[in-house]
Amino acid sequence: MKARRWWWSSAAMAALALAAIAAQEAGAAGCAGDAELERQILRRLLGQVEVREEGITVEVECGVAVLRGAVASIGEAERLERLASGIVGIRSVANRVAVAPTTRSDLAVAQEVRRRLERYPRLRRPTLMVSASDGVVTLSGEVERDLDGRQAESIAADVAGVRRVVNTVRVTGEERPDDALVQSRVMSLLANPLTFGAVRDLRVRVEDGIVVLEGTVAREADRHEAERLAGGVPGVAGVRNDLVVENR
């Protein structure tokens, strides 16, 4: 059964318009440009995410955006944050968006996750195990590539009613390179202006496949992108993102 999709209601759109007007009137109380940043975020969010009728509210104070409201899944909440952090001038995002309660049973949520995973051939052999309890989905089993495990987690996070994903999937089909090689690969990717190059004073450490990123970036979006890129490097088992967004 296809999951129910929630779009911006007329009431939510009206709330967004009122929020923008209120932000403009209150602009003098915060930093210059806050009201315009709020309008840019609202425009970007409008029509690009699925939200409940309560809608999403955005407040910006000196470049720090605070998001509130309710969405159908943790995946949607994370997309909201990525969209907002990609606005030039936003230094960080406080994501206080909640996953709205669902009337779907744990069994129905687990079945929906399993159906979506089975659309991808690499996630069928062998079949991953899925269980759900009070909005928390647990994935277990084996995959051939680390990338497959991360894809399974992303797919599960987008199912309505999922508040969190616990990923215990093991990678068995690829031999993990040594930490020195992983460090070299991550550094080459992130330090090269042609592939990224957005981190100042970049430092990369690797311990048992776990990559630690240190340095400074100009935007929250750059911080997220660096983590995403590092996580896709062969041999990376996880990423600890200690990058700092510079204060302007």
83 pLDDT tier (thresholds 50, 70, 90) = confident
- Judge residue 104's burial from the number of C-beta atoms within 10 Å of its C-beta, 0-12 exposed, 13-18 middle, 19 or more buried: buried
**What are the CA-CA distances from residue 73 to residues 45, 70, 160 (Å)?**
16, 9, 5
Distance CA 137, CA 159 (A): 10
Q: Mean pLDDT, to the nearest integer, of 157-179?
A: 86
- Reported confidence tier of residue 21, pLDDT bands at 50, 70, 90: low
Q: What is the pLDDT of residues 103-112, one digit of tens each?
A: 999 999 999 9
pLDDT of residue 153: 92
Q: How many whole angstroms separate alpha carbon 88 and alpha carbon 80?
A: 15
Q: What pLDDT is attached to residue 54?
A: 52
Q: What is the pLDDT of residues 201-248, one digit of tens each?
A: 999 999 988 899 999 998 888 888 898 889 888 888 888 999 998 865
Q: Residue 3 pLDDT more than 90?
A: no
Q: How much helix, strand and coil, in percent to the nearest 5, is found in the chain?
A: 40, 30, 35
Question: Going along 14-91, which residue ranges are E strands?
Answer: 51-61, 64-71
- Beta-strand ranges (E) seen in 103-246 are 129-133, 136-140, 142-143, 164-167, 170-171, 200-207, 210-217, 238-245
189 and 196 Cβ atoms separated by less than 8 Å: yes
> Pick from 146, 166, 133: which is nearest to 232 by CA?
146
Q: Taking 60 as the threshold, does the pLDDT of residue 20 lie above it?
A: no
**Amino acid letter, 133:** S
* Least confident span in 42-46, 179-183, 191-195: 42-46
Across residues 66-78, what is the average pLDDT?
91
* Tens-place pLDDT, residues 24-45: 554 445 687 899 999 999 888 8
CA distance 166 to 147: 16
Residue 170 has pLDDT above 60, yes or no: yes
Identify the residue with better confidence: 52 or 88.
Answer: 88
Q: Are 99 and 72 in contact (CB under 8 A)?
A: yes
Burial status of residue 35 (CB atoms within 10 A of its CB: 0-12, 13-18, 19 or more): buried
pLDDT tens for each residue of 118-163: 998 888 777 799 999 999 999 999 888 777 888 899 999 999 999 9
